[in-house]
Structure 1
């Protein structure tokens, strides 16, 4: 790959009221960067992303499989092909879900979060990550402890910024209050957000939505799963491919591929065709039309998939008529799509 990175190749957006700029599209390593994917394929996608200007690499301790595999892979590239280029990149990681055996391998405790961060740093071969997240709200641990661990990550020099992921509007407000008392601000919130999963727009019991709280507090919003775990692509228009997430029983549950949801996908596909684009590009452009979103995280198994996602940035903004057509396509099927894989474990708490 070239040694000359051109960050201007991908537009940068400011993360809330912080000083951190992030590319409009970032690479998420949740899928495709573990033992089940050929290393050459992983290498090609990641290096191509960096060369294109996708300078944020989003990870977590449980991304693999096995846990810490994605971070170890990135660490290996930092020692080899990306040697000397650490400061050109935004490295982010998270802890909250199961990462190792025993009673201290998941949750929101100080012991787990800081031990996990130390393992992540060792896997990456760096002293500091740019953002460290609480991956999910843990109702069994006081928020003062969870957010306090994030504060320690900053004050100890192990993270430049900290954030939360999949917290409801209510829990986000609570976390912000704790962080304010500790004197260490939260910088970003990472929720799922797509045409089929719009929970961040909807007020919870507090009367506020995640987007409203983030905007008021100056949090950047890092939207993950803009393609609804692959549903918002051409992949499921004619059935379930054998190598798809639904067929392999991974993050896309078969029940999400209901006839109602597939009808919505087909209707959205027609909107994309009328625009002269792909369904994936339409879905990404739709999330990016939201001014409170800083960046969207996309996954990719191939360079072509990544380039198709990045091509969403080259298209004209969605016009009022197109946004209305999107809403009409969704409303053409009774009921609401329900593809929030994380709701019962985090955003509903």
Structure 2
């Protein structure tokens, strides 16, 4: 049977405008990177998406290469939205991206017009959707003119295959060039998706200022630093963790310096009545430039714990000073 959404799903979530656009996003969005695909059971994936929607999460973030294997996340999400959430499509924001390797040959990677638009067509086929709400350039292409990549995003909007466009992993200068190229197409840049967390503060050096200057929204990925800003590694390296797997991080990341800082941050979080992950989410959301934070989750209980961060977002100057003292991991 299709899922029946909770009638009070909008009661506790806050929605913030993405920059100067009309697009409202929930303060916490669900990212499907590394959590959907063959490594997760179907019922777990289905429960995460439907529960997220019941909790007011209207935005689901994908990319062509999310899985594993690449494409699997879009396929799984497409099955869920095509059955359980079909009646609620107009209440849901779906984003996807192109820019990383997806198929063999010279057109399956990077940001050419051929690659971007072919990838979007494949994403629509996998998800079973007529359009996505946001289509991103996943990373800047050093060989392709920015006008070509942004022109492909503009074409997607004109074709009705995307409503808004965004960029991810662009630095301040690259974003500035993207804005100019899109303005020439009479298409606004709606959102930027950078990596930002207590242990990775690079966006504070010019990027967040540039985002504010152009009135662009900002949705941050890896706000929990891939699990380093949780209690996951405080007592060792679990066998099923990312550090043990060695794909996105290794056991060397769990250094004594990291542990000392993570424990100090945990003490601060507990004094606030929060977990470390809740403090980390409150910290990124404190910035006025940040529209939403992307979280992944392996269970509905973990998702609920992350959502509880929204109950206490205020951080004092003294608390920020403590965080500054411990905002490095190695």
Q: TM bucket by the smaller chain?
A: over 0.9
SS of structure 2 residue aligned to 1:239 = coil
Q: 1:317 aligns with which of 311, 314, 318?
A: 314
Q: Do structure 1's residue 233 and structure 2's residue 205 form an aligned pair?
A: no
| 2:273 aligned partner | 276
| 2:219 aligned partner | 222
Q: Do structure 1's residue 12 and structure 2's residue 15 form an aligned pair?
A: yes
| 2:46 aligned partner | 43
1:284-339 Cα shifts (integer Å, max 9, x gaps): 00001111100000000011110000000012511222222222333xxxxx547x
Q: 2:89 aligns with which of 62, 86, 89?
A: 86
Confirm or deny: 8 A CA contact 1:193 1:226 kept in the other structure: yes
Please state how far the C-alpha of 1:167 moved relative to its aligned partner: 0.2
Instruction: Provide structure 2 residue ranges, at least 5 long, that are not aligned to the other structure.
Output: none
| 1:158 aligned partner | 161
Q: Pairwise CA RMSD of aligned residues?
A: 1.3
SS of structure 2 residue aligned to 1:293 = coil
Confirm or deny: 8 A CA contact 1:110 1:145 kept in the other structure: yes
Confirm or deny: 8 A CA contact 1:169 1:213 kept in the other structure: yes
Structure 2: distance between partners of 1:159 and 1:52:
25
Say if 1:88 and 1:253 are closer, same or farther in 2 by CA, change over 3 A.
same
Superposition map of 1:151-230 within 5 A = 151-202=154-205, 209-230=206-227
Q: 1:147 aligns with which of 147, 150, 153?
A: 150
Q: Do structure 1's residue 257 and structure 2's residue 260 form an aligned pair?
A: no
Aligned length, in residue pairs: 327
Please state how far the C-alpha of 1:81 moved relative to its aligned partner: 1.1
Structure 2: distance between partners of 1:337 and 1:184:
40
SS of structure 2 residue aligned to 1:50 = helix
SS of structure 1 residue aligned to 2:94 = strand
Say if 1:184 and 1:5 are closer, same or farther in 2 by CA, change over 3 A.
farther
Confirm or deny: 8 A CA contact 1:7 1:55 kept in the other structure: no
Structure 1: distance between partners of 2:310 and 2:259:
26
| 2:4 aligned partner | 2
Structure 2: distance between partners of 1:16 and 1:306:
26
Structure 2: distance between partners of 1:54 and 1:28:
11
Q: Do structure 1's residue 113 and structure 2's residue 113 form an aligned pair?
A: no
Please state how far the C-alpha of 1:239 moved relative to its aligned partner: 1.2
Structure 2: distance between partners of 1:283 and 1:176:
30
Please state how far the C-alpha of 1:5 moved relative to its aligned partner: 6.0
Structure 2: distance between partners of 1:316 and 1:5:
22
Instruction: Provide structure 1 residue ranges, at least 5 long, that are not aligned to the other structure.
Output: 203-208, 331-335, 339-349
Structure 2: distance between partners of 1:34 and 1:17:
35
Please state how far the C-alpha of 1:256 moved relative to its aligned partner: 2.7
Q: 2:285 aligns with which of 283, 288, 291?
A: 288
Confirm or deny: 8 A CA contact 2:116 2:152 kept in the other structure: yes
| 2:104 aligned partner | 101
SS of structure 2 residue aligned to 1:65 = coil
